[in-house]
Chain A
């Protein structure tokens, strides 16, 4: 058994290209997915006070379908299924859409736990000040709810970043696609995948650190002590 990593060197460009794709897919998806989750959580939260409305049921169905089917099937369904319905979709758009829908569903559930743990007094104070339900959600409920579930949110974003390896299967030139590409040229599968796996590991660590950094700024209000 011999390992030879030197045959990887000519392919640095491909790896960098794939890395950039994985990075920007993750960045866009994280923002879009969180935005989607906020909308879903708001609409479901409203309905949970009374009898679940049709909208709430539909959104609940969306969350359950995403959570109980594999990401790769969601991706194939969008990429192969939508064109068959007459909706043309590029591989990149399919990847972005699938990742966003996936992260959105999980994050909506995570966020809901945070929203549910809002103290009643916060709602009452907002109402007594005359804030509408939407104003109260936006200005009073949302940020503390995020701060409470932030660790779960970080994990979920990392899971989606790692899961994005699958978009290589619809020919999006991401990190994994780069690995497959190189492997098909130099036939050094193990070495290529080992290196790319390590890059993913570094990405996961980096993403966590970045999130924690942002979290410390965003949720500075949680630290007590004298002003």
Chain B
């Protein structure tokens, strides 16, 4: 362990930390996109579509993210693709994120009073127009705090990509530990890395929530 200075450890963790950030961004952006489509389809779609989306959400919320990663990794192989850990992690985390965001956003759309729907339909707006001009702008306001809050779960979720061999912050930590054997320092630094990424987002989400619901919330 004498071969590794603290700086070596920190530098390696920082380098790997980039991939945590990139994977988080991919998962969040992809998840938001898929989640948005799902939310819209769920709000307006036919019964069977709504039912399918609900099943999708329940499946992702009712199973371990780790299993989802394994399934993406091994499932692709069954389908005849040779996928990298990169692809498997991106796909699994995107789907995972989309399911949770779909659930959060559905709640926000439903929180808009039904009188708003009736009023816009009475004015002659069709479903998409009501959604776009009346419902979504109001739902959006409600959606921001929990969405920011969920981004913390996405970042933490990327740590599991280490298990299928994706080298991000956590995987770099275990690899460094195998070489340097300074587990206390290394995993404390890894935790610190996540904390630096997550804590500001947590604080911001709480701040937004307070602003939205007034000071009485906490």
What residue in chain B is nearest A193 (Cβ atoms)? B70
- How long is the Cα–Cα vector from A73 to B74 in the complex, in angstroms? 24
Partner of B195, one of A65, A81, A83, A205: A65
Nearest neighbor of A82 in chain B, beta-carbon distance? B184
Q: Would you give the 0/1 interface string for B149-192, flagging 1 where the beta carbon is closer than 8 Å to chain A?
A: 00010001101101100000010011001000111100110110
Can you name the residue of chain A whose Cβ is closest to the Cβ of B75? A190
- Are the C-beta atoms of B174 and A76 separated by less than 8 Å? yes
Q: How many residues of B contact A (CB 8 A)?
A: 42
What is the CA–CA distance of A1 and B183 in the complex, to the nearest angstrom?
A: 43
Please tell me if A11 contacts chain B, counting CB pairs below 8 Å. Answer: no
Task: Tell whether, in the assembled complex, residue A165 and residue B66 are in contact, meaning their CB atoms are under 8 Å apart.
Answer: yes
A-binding segment of B36-44, B46-54, B56-64, B112-120: B56-64
| Complex interface: chain A residues within 8 A of B159 (CB) | 70-73
Complex contacts, B62 vs chain A, CB 8 Å: 158, 162, 200-201, 204-205
Check A77–B64 contact: CB distance below 8 A: no
Tally of chain A residues near chain B (CB < 8 A):
41
Residues of B within 8 A of A (CB): 59, 62-68, 70-71, 73-75, 77-80, 152, 156-157, 159-160, 162-163, 170, 173-174, 177, 181-184, 187-188, 190-191, 194-195, 198-199, 202, 218
Name the 7 nearest CB pairs between A and B, nearest first: A189-B74, A80-B183, A70-B159, A165-B64, A68-B198, A77-B187, A204-B62
- Contact residues of A with B, CB < 8 Å? 1, 3, 64-65, 67-74, 76-77, 80-81, 83-85, 116, 158, 162-166, 168-169, 176, 179, 183, 189-190, 193-194, 196-197, 200-201, 204-205
